[in-house]
């Protein structure tokens, strides 16, 4: 996404870029009334003027908006209108771009159905690749440049002749402090700062809590109220002020829920081999001029891949890439880890950068305490954030 003025827009509208289709909370319908407790609310139940992308939970609908934004390089108000900045109701208004987007959705759907048997081979990204208008003339500088081969979307076959999965993972555990010390890590409570689009990259306080084997909570203390994401081992939620999200509470489903589980489980690396399945070794790559070894696994058989990048020299994990399936394509989320420090004999990253189709955020820790008691309620479903001026 473009920076500059777009940062101001994204700060006002939050991390979720609700682009192209135009929606607003349905009048007179609270999350509880719509049955949020029984099953996730669907997009057309929560928002107005959803004409094509129906039948999916809110988080997948918003993932789809992020895919549009990544594909076209456009932000929220470029797809809607300047009046929608700070006013969720205006997202329901139709615009020429939204009408064109609906035409494009139908075009791509028919193309995949007619030419590829319904398999999703063509998406918005196929033609746009981050630009508002697709390029139609060949670029000779690309054709004749010495370009490196792009990283494959998936590692389809394990490479031979290099390190094995066990060797790479064992080196990682040893680099962290060894099997015994890593296994002894059962909880941690951290404090630090959070910065992202929705804070205009200004740092705000953040708390990160985790409990083995798979519970995690992150609470960013925003000016308008806390933005809280939790995963209790089975379910996950995001609660945010109205300035950041179109709904005060969003239940995670599908790939978003899987991603929360991966993040929670990998907070405690002792069980990393058991967390994922279908392990494969890819070709070495370079990150920041350092060679990394690439592993790929899956949270569930046949599920989307999770890629892990380990520094070939230190053995430490420096990057994780996981994916979420949306209605129109697959969205990547990249997490870069750095500044490893010793905590009770275990090296843990004090800095991580999360990059996804809706923005980029940085967490920098100043304090991390290991094996401290943490109340189980910290990972439970958070309370929705009431609108401004509402009684609390």
Q: How far apart are CA 63 and CA 345, in angstroms?
A: 39
What pTM was estimated for this model as a whole?
A: 0.82
End-to-end CA distance of the chain: 36
Lowest mean per-residue pLDDT among 28-32, 153-157, 226-230, 243-247: 28-32
Q: How far apart are CA 74 and CA 1, in angstroms?
A: 7
In this predicted structure, the answer to whether residue 138 has a pLDDT above a threshold of 60 is: yes
DSSP 15: S
Higher-scoring residue by pLDDT: 77, 229:
229
The stretch 358-386 carries a mean pLDDT of 92
Q: What is the DSSP string of 289-358?
A: TEEEEEEEEESSTTS-EEEEEEETTT--EEEEEEEEE-SSSEEEEEEEEEEEEEETTEEEEEEEEEEETT
204-242: string of b/e by CB count within 10 Å (b at 16+)? bebbbbbbbebbbbbbbebeebbbbbbbbeebbbbbbbb
- Structure-token pair, residue 108: 């791509």
pLDDT tens per residue across span 105-136: 899 999 999 999 988 899 998 898 888 888 88
The stretch 344-357 carries a mean pLDDT of 95
The stretch 48-63 carries a mean pLDDT of 87
DSSP 369: E
In this predicted structure, the answer to whether residue 29 has a pLDDT above a threshold of 90 is: no
Predicted local distance difference test score (pLDDT) of residue 338: 98
Predicted local distance difference test score (pLDDT) of residue 150: 66
Lowest mean per-residue pLDDT among 61-65, 259-263, 311-315, 379-383: 61-65
Beta-bridged to residue 297, according to DSSP, are 306
- Using DSSP's 3-state secondary structure scheme, residue 126 falls into helix
Best CA proximity match to 244, nearest among 320, 358, 98: 358
Stretch (H or E) spanning 165: helix 165-176
Q: CB-based contacts of 106: which residues, under 8 Å, 6+ apart?
A: 52
Predicted local distance difference test score (pLDDT) of residue 69: 87
What is the CATH architecture of 165-379? Clam (2.50)
Predicted local distance difference test score (pLDDT) of residue 386: 63
Report the percentage of the chain scoring pLDDT > 70.
Answer: 84
Predicted local distance difference test score (pLDDT) of residue 385: 67
Higher-scoring residue by pLDDT: 80, 11:
80
Lowest mean per-residue pLDDT among 72-81, 193-202, 228-237, 265-274: 72-81
Contact 200, 11 (CB under 8 A): yes
Residues of the chain within CATH 2.50.20 domain(s) are: 165-379
Q: In 10 A of CB 95, how many CB atoms?
A: 16
pLDDT tens per residue across span 3-18: 333 333 333 333 334 3
Average pLDDT, the chain: 84
The stretch 271-278 carries a mean pLDDT of 94
Q: How far apart are CA 80 and CA 328, in angstroms?
A: 19
In this predicted structure, the answer to whether residue 70 has a pLDDT above a threshold of 70 is: yes
pLDDT band of residue 27 (cuts 50, 70, 90) is very low
């Amino acid at each position: 996404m473009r920076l500059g003025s777009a940062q101001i827009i994204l700060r006002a509208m939050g991390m979720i870029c609700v682009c192209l289709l135009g929606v607003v909370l349905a009048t007179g319908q609270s999350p509880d009334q719509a049955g949020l407790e029984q099953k996730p609310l669907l997009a057309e139940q929560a928002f107005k003027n959803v004409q094509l992308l129906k039948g999916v939970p809110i988080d997948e609908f918003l993932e789809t908006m992020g895919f549009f934004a990544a594909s076209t390089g456009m932000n929220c108000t470029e797809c809607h209108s300047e009046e929608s900045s700070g006013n969720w109701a205006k997202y329901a208004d139709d615009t020429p771009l939204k009408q064109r987007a609906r035409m494009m959705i139908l075009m791509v759907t028919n193309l995949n159905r007619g030419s590829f048997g319904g398999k999703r081979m063509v998406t918005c990204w196929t033609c746009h690749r981050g630009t508002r208008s697709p390029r139609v003339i060949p670029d000779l500088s690309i054709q004749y440049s010495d370009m490196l081969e792009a990283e494959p979307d998936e590692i389809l076959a394990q490479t031979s002749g290099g390190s094995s999965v066990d060797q790479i993972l064992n080196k990682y555990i040893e680099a962290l402090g060894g099997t015994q010390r890593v296994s002894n890590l059962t909880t941690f409570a951290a404090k630090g700062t959070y910065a992202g689009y929705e804070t205009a990259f200004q740092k705000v306080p953040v708390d990160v809590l985790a409990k083995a084997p798979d519970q995690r909570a992150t609470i960013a203390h925003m000016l308008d109220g806390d933005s809280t994401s939790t995963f209790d081992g089975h379910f996950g939620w995001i609660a945010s002020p109205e300035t950041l999200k179109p709904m005060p509470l969003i239940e995670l489903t599908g790939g978003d829920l899987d991603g929360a589980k991966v993040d929670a489980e990998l907070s405690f690396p002792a069980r990393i081999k058991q967390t994922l399945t279908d392990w494969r070794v890819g070709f070495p790559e370079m990150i920041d001029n350092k060679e990394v070894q690439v592993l790929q696994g899956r949270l569930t058989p046949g599920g989307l891949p999770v890629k892990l990048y380990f520094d070939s020299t230190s053995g430490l994990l420096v990057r994780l890439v996981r994916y979420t399936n949306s209605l129109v394509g697959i969205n990547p989320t990249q997490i870069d880890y750095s500044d490893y420090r010793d905590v009770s004999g275990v090296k843990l990253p004090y800095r991580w950068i999360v990059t996804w189709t809706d923005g980029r955020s940085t967490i920098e820790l100043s304090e991390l305490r290991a094996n401290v008691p943490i109340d189980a309620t910290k990972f439970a479903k958070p309370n929705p954030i009431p609108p401004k001026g509402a009684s609390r």
